[in-house]
Amino acid sequence: MAWLALAPLIMALAREPGMRSRRAFLLGLVCGAGYFGGTVYWTPAVVRTFGGLHPIVAVAVGGLLVAYLALFPALFAVILSRLVAAGGHRSVCAVPVLWAATELLRRHLLGGFPWVLLGSSQATVLPILQTASLAGVYGLSALVSMGSAAAVLLVVGRGWLRWAMPVGTAALTGILWIWGAARVADGSLVTTGDAMRVALVQGNIRQEEKWNRTSAPAILSTYLRLTQQAARDGARLVVWPESSTPFFFEYDAAGNAAIRMTVRESGIHLLFGSDQYEAGPPARYFNSAFLLRPDGTTVASYKKMHLVPFGEYVPLKRLLFFAGPLVEAVSDFSPGEDPMVMPIGTHRLSTAICYEVVYPDLIAAFTGRGSQLLTTITNDAWYGDSSAPYQHFWQAAVRAVEQGRYLVRAANTGISGIVDPYGRVVASSGIFEQVVVGGDIRFLTGTTVYGQTGDAFAYACALATVLAWFATRRRQDAAAHSR
């Protein structure tokens, strides 16, 4: 459906060349409301359950998020309507460029929220997904949006225009499909590099129990027991989820000692999430990941850079004064500043914490620093039995293809899994099950086209959009002057 999802909006804009910007904005806003109302619908339930908000206030907070995200399709609609007014139906051919540009803007504006980008819808369509290794998820989004533009031109186009883009879209998609299928079938990436057995420990700890002091011994015991099981099964790297320790790892002597002893006895590398505290002034808290050597010593710790709005901080606190209980319930974490990689033997790995994995440029920064294995740790217990854990997992899978790396993902309640450089799921868990997920990975050093060029395609689309906007403004000003 993603290939045709934008067609109604584009059709409305194309059929009314003289449409006012206000009407185009409203049409785009309606489209965005459907887009994000149907994908981040779980937000009110999260802030109500864990922020203690009244149901009406929780819905208002969720509505604000949807309204904000809908601004980007609205901006797309305004720009497209101006291009159609200046250039007629042929301006519909600019849809892929405009859509990629607005998605890039969504990534950057106010810290960014690049959740459920259009290209991520192809995460399970492996031949098409390989396009991400060339132009990233924004390139995928451009390709998918071409389907809607082509469908509209079949209806409103005249002469050569009616067939040029549909035929071109079909040809390009077919070529990419054939190339992508051949790339997956070749599979040479999974036969190179040093192999290692990894295990992902999914503790399945309910959110309301995670920081209950009386539950802490049982939670730690669960993770240590499953880690010992993973080591007996041959794992050399074991990964726990985000904030898996029910205490501050560096400040709890008993818990710290128990974890280090288990690592020494098992002879494994252990990567796990734990909150970190730095004394002030001012005192600061970080959502961090630690890597331990087989001798139990700490290799390094990574501090999460992209914090979750309404989960780890509340944006625009003064504006959202009515969400007082949420502000009080949410811890004020500080963001990290260094996209560091961690040595594991003679190799290097990186870890993205929670929704950081949806930022393609952050993962590219890890790889640029020499990461040979992508890991991500998360606690998706917040989302309950919604589609959010599935959205989160498949967006992470796109990063593996973009960078040509294995990706391992440890989640508290699911989905935990291993994804190979082609986006194939090697092993995975369900949600809400206590399990150890094991499999083999390889440390890879090659670079994809996207790994070399980054988001150059998306920035080129942004530049083209700006130039087109000013060109239409100049043309309209000239026409007004001549009248």
**Number of helices (H) and strands (E), helices first, in the chain?**
15, 12
Phi, psi of 381 (to 5 degrees): -65, -25
- The DSSP-derived string for 44-81 is HHHHHHHH---HHHHHHHHHHHHHHHHHHHHHHHHHHH
Cα dihedral: 453, 459, 465, 470 (round 10): -120
Q: Give Cβ neighbours of residue 353 (< 8 Å, ≥ 6 apart).
A: 242, 273, 287, 288, 289, 302, 304, 376, 377, 378
Candidate list 304, 312, 402, 461, residue with the active-site label: 304
Candidate list 242, 312, 356, 402, residue with the active-site label: 242
Q: Does residue 402 have an active-site annotation?
A: no
Cα dihedral: 205, 206, 209, 215 (round 10): -30
What is the rounded CA–CA span in Å between residue 401 and residue 120? 11
Contact 248, 207 (CB under 8 A): no
The label of the residue with tokens 């963001």 reads 335
Exposure b/e, 35-65, CB count within 10 A at least 16 = b: bbbeebebbbbbbbebbebeeebbbbbbebb
Q: Does residue 304 have an active-site annotation?
A: yes
Candidate list 31, 93, 354, 461, residue with the active-site label: 354
Instruction: Tell how far CA 218 is from the center of its chain.
Output: 32
Q: Give Cβ neighbours of residue 374 (< 8 Å, ≥ 6 apart).
A: 349, 350, 352, 363, 366, 367, 399, 400, 403, 405, 406, 407, 408
Contact 371, 451 (CB under 8 A): no
What is the rounded CA–CA span in Å between residue 60 and residue 66? 10
CA nearest neighbour of 132 among 141, 143, 140: 140
Instruction: Tell how far CA 180 is from the center of its chain.
Output: 22
CA nearest neighbour of 439 among 272, 246, 303, 238: 238
Q: Does residue 461 have an active-site annotation?
A: no
- In Å, how far are 251, 349, 427 from 352, measured between CA atoms? 23, 10, 19
- In Å, how far are 67, 199, 220, 234, 282 from 432, measured between CA atoms? 31, 18, 18, 25, 38
Active site residues: 242, 304, 354
